[in-house]
Amino acid sequence: MNKKNSPEISWYSTVNRAQRIGQDKKVIVCRYLSENTIEEKINKMQEKKLQLADSLIEANNPLKLYSETEIIEFFQ
């Protein structure tokens, strides 16, 4: 997975940025996604890739879980 688009790294850096400002009180970080935006498409792609990675790790034969078109979509 591309580290620049990793949801975990992005979330971690966002929380750290809020804390670095010198905030000493509780900080709440929210993430909003608008419909039909590039951010929504990136988020959906990340979710699909995480599901694929999980299924590849857990399954004995992960290719049985996906159709040919689904596998091709993962690499587009």
- Say what the pLDDT of residue 17 is: 78
Looking at the fold, whether 39 and 27 belong to one and the same domain comes out as: no
- Mean pLDDT score across all residues of the chain: 77
Residues 41 and 62 in one domain: yes
Same domain, 44 and 75: yes
What six digits make up the tokens of 59? 């399954």
Range of the domain at 25: 1-31
pLDDT in tens, 4-54: 556 666 777 777 777 777 778 887 877 788 899 998 888 888 888 888 788
Show the DSSP H helices in the chain as ranges. 7-20, 38-58, 68-74
Is residue 48 located within the same domain as residue 69? yes
Average of per-residue pLDDT across 44-66: 79
Same domain? For 27 and 41 the reply is no
pLDDT value of position 1: 44
**What is the structure's pLDDT at 5?**
57
Please report, as a single letter, which amino acid is at residue 70.
Answer: E
- pTM score of the predicted model: 0.51
